[in-house]
C-alpha cells in the first residue's frame, strides 16, 4: 500500500502568468507529466524526469500559456493547479530547461475537470419509536428503494408499557419503515442487542456491530463472540471491500480484521475510541484505509490512523488537534475530517471549513469529491458540490443529533435521535 509522502507542493498561481509562449523543444519519453488526481477546481499533476535529462528548471503550460516556471533539477515532484473551472478541458505540457543543456518537453496531457452536482434536495423526515430513548446509530443504502438502519426502537404495547427488547434493525422499502429484531443466539439463548454500526455489501450480505460483529442476510444472523477467540475488543463501526476483507473498529482502540474465516486483532497504537473507518481504491489501484480516533466527550489523544492491508497502523500528522469523530475521502489529497471542527486536506496541509454551522460533526460520507455530505449535532446537514457548501436548515434539530449517514447518487439518508425518538431524514435529488 502506498504511504503518505511529504511531497514538494507548488501552488500554481494562474493570475501570475498569462503570457503565451513559443516552445518548440522536442518531445521526449523521459519527460513525463501525468494527472494524479482530478477534482472540480483542482488538479494534481505528477512530474517525472529521468536522470538522463539534464535540466536546471521546468516550465508548465496550460492551454499553451505558461503557468509555472521553476528552478528545479530533481526527478519527481507534484504540482497543484487550483482555482480552475468545472467541466472544462485543459491541456498541459511540461518543458525542461538548462544553461547549455538541451531542452525537452513531455507529451501533451489533456484532462477534463469534474462538474459540480446540484444542491437541490427534497427532504422527508420520519420519527420512529414511542419514546424510552429510541434512536438510530447508523444506516446503509442498498439501492434507491431499499435501506437498512440500526439502533434501538422502543414501542409501547396496548397497556402503555414498553417492550424491553427494542427493535434494532429497520428496513426502508421505498414506502415505509419496517421494524425488525435482529436476533442472535448466545449459549442457546436469543439476544436482541442495541446495534451501533452497519455495513452492507448487498441486501443479503450485511455486517452489524454490537460490541461484537454480527453477519447475516437481513433475516438470519450469526454473532461472532470475540472473547471466545481470545480477542479483547469492542467494535462499533465497519468498513471493507467484501465479506472476506473487512475491518471493525471501536472502543479503547479496538481494531479487528476478518478474512476467509479468520479473525485477527491489529494493534492500533491508541487506547482512545476509534469512531470511524473508511477506505478507498485510489487511481493508482492502492487501497487507502484511514480511521479517526479520539474520545468524544473527554480529553485524550486525537489520532488520524492509516491501516495497511498487512495490519500495520501508522499515526498520520493531525496538527489542528480537534476531536476526530469521522472521516471520508475520494482522494488522499482531499481527506475530510470531522468532529470538533470540519477540515479537508492531507497530512501537513489542512484547511478548516467554515461554511457550515459550527456544530459537532458526527459523520461524513459521499460518492465523489463533488458530492459530499456531513451530518452532526443539532441536525447539522451540509452538502459540498465540488465548489460550494450548502446547509439545510429545514432538517435541523434543536434538541437532536444525526449519528449515521449514507449517500448515493440520488439519495442521502441521515439517522439519529430527536428528543426520545429516533429520527430519519431522506433527501432526494431529482
C-alpha dist (Å) from residue 36 to 71, 78, 146, 331, 411: 22, 9, 35, 10, 29
Query: With pLDDT > 70 as the criterion, what percentage of the chain qualifies?
Result: 94
Confidence of residue 350 (pLDDT cuts 50, 70, 90): very high
Predicted TM-score of the model (pTM): 0.92
Q: What pLDDT is stored for residue 8 in this prediction?
A: 42
Mean pLDDT within 76-90 = 96
Query: Which tops the pLDDT comparison, 282 or 85?
Result: 85
Q: What is the DSSP letter of 96?
A: E
Residues 101-159 pLDDT 10s = 889 999 999 999 999 999 999 999 999 999 889 999 999 999 999 999 999 999 998 78
Q: How far apart are CA 79 and CA 12, in angstroms?
A: 7
Q: What is the 3-state secondary structure (H, E, C) of 13-55?
A: CCCCCCCECCCCCCECCCEEEEEEEECCCCEEEEEEECCCCCC
Domains (ranges, CATH) in the chain?
A: 9-112 (2.60.40.10), 122-428 (2.130.10.10)
Q: What is the DSSP letter of 185?
A: E
Strands (E), 39-121: 43-49, 57-62, 65-71, 76-81, 89-97, 104-105, 109-112
Kindly report each contact of residues 182-187 with a partner whose C-beta sits within 8 Å and lies 24 or more positions away, as own/partner.
182/150, 182/208, 182/214, 182/216, 182/221, 183/221, 184/214, 184/221, 184/222, 184/223, 185/223, 186/223, 186/225
Mean pLDDT within 171-183 = 96
Residues 13-28 pLDDT 10s = 444 444 555 578 999 9
Confidence of residue 298 (pLDDT cuts 50, 70, 90): confident
Mean pLDDT within 303-307 = 96
Query: Is the pLDDT assigned to residue 284 strictly greater than 70?
Result: no
Pairing of strands 104-105, 234-242: unpaired
Mean pLDDT within 205-234 = 96
Q: How far apart are CA 73 and CA 260, in angstroms?
A: 48
Query: Is the pLDDT assigned to residue 213 strictly greater than 60?
Result: yes
Q: What pLDDT is stored for residue 247 in this prediction?
A: 97
Mean pLDDT within 317-336 = 93
Confidence of residue 204 (pLDDT cuts 50, 70, 90): very high
Query: Is the pLDDT assigned to residue 72 strictly greater than 90?
Result: yes
Q: Which three cell numbers stand for residue 316?
A: 498520520
Q: What pLDDT is stored for residue 3 in this prediction?
A: 32
Confidence of residue 5 (pLDDT cuts 50, 70, 90): very low
Query: Is the pLDDT assigned to residue 177 strictly greater than 50?
Result: yes
Classify 227 as helix, strand or coil: helix
Confidence of residue 250 (pLDDT cuts 50, 70, 90): very high
C-alpha dist (Å) from residue 416 to 151, 155, 171, 175, 291: 9, 17, 15, 20, 21
Residues 56-69 pLDDT 10s = 999 999 999 999 99
Amino acid at each position: 500500500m502506498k504511504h503518505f509522502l511529504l511531497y514538494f507542493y507548488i501552488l500554481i498561481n494562474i493570475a501570475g502568468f498569462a503570457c503565451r509562449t513559443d516552445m518548440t523543444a522536442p518531445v521526449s519519453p523521459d519527460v513525463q507529466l501525468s494527472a494524479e488526481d482530478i477534482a472540480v477546481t483542482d488538479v494534481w499533476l505528477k512530474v517525472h524526469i529521468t536522470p538522463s535529462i539534464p535540466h536546471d528548471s521546468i516550465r508548465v503550460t496550460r492551454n499553451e500559456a505558461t503557468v509555472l516556471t521553476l528552478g528545479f533539477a530533481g526527478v519527481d515532484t507534484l504540482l497543484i493547479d487550483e482555482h480552475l473551472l468545472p467541466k472544462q478541458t485543459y491541456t498541459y505540457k511540461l518543458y525542461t530547461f538548462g544553461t547549455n543543456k538541451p531542452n525537452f518537453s513531455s507529451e501533451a496531457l489533456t484532462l477534463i475537470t469534474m462538474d459540480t452536482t446540484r444542491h437541490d434536495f427534497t427532504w422527508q423526515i420520519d420519527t420512529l419509536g414511542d419514546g424510552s430513548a429510541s434512536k438510530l446509530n447508523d444506516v446503509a443504502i442498498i439501492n434507491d428503494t431499499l435501506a437498512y438502519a440500526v439502533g434501538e426502537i422502543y414501542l409501547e404495547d396496548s397497556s402503555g408499557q414498553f417492550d424491553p427488547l427494542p427493535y434494532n434493525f429497520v428496513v426502508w422499502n421505498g414506502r415505509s419503515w419496517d421494524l425488525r429484531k435482529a436476533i442472535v443466539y448466545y449459549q442457546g439463548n436469543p439476544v436482541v442487542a442495541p446495534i451501533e454500526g452497519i455495513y452492507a455489501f448487498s441486501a443479503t450480505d450485511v455486517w452489524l456491530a454490537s460490541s461484537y460483529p454480527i453477519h447475516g442476510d437481513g433475516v438470519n444472523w450469526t454473532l461472532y463472540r470475540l472473547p471466545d477467540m481470545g480477542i479483547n475488543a469492542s467494535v462499533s463501526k465497519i468498513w471493507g471491500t467484501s465479506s472476506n476483507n473487512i475491518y471493525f473498529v471501536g472502543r479503547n482502540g479496538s481494531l479487528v480484521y476478518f478474512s476467509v474465516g479468520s479473525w485477527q486483532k491489529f494493534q492500533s497504537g491508541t487506547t482512545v475510541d476509534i469512531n470511524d473507518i473508511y477506505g478507498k481504491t485510489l487511481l493508482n489501484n492502492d487501497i487507502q484505509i484511514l480511521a479517526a480516533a479520539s474520545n468524544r466527550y473527554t480529553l485524550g489523544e486525537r489520532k488520524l490512523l492509516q491501516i495497511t492491508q498487512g495490519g500495520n497502523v501508522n499515526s498520520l500528522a493531525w496538527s489542528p488537534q480537534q476531536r476526530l469523530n469521522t472521516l471520508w475521502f475520494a482522494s488522499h489529497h482531499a481527506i475530510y475530517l470531522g468532529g470538533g471542527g470540519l477540515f479537508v486536506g492531507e497530512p501537513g496541509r489542512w484547511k478548516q471549513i467554515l461554511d457550515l454551522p459550527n456544530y459537532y460533526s458526527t459523520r461524513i460520507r459521499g460518492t465523489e469529491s463533488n458530492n459530499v455530505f456531513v451530518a452532526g449535532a443539532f441536525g447539522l446537514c451540509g452538502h459540498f458540490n465540488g465548489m460550494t457548501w450548502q446547509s439545510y436548515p429545514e432538517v435541523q434539530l434543536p434538541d437532536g443529533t444525526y449519528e449515521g449517514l449514507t449517500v448515493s447518487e440520488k439519495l442521502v439518508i441521515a439517522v439519529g435521535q430527536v428528543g426520545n425518538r429516533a429520527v430519519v431524514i431522506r433527501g432526494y435529488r431529482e
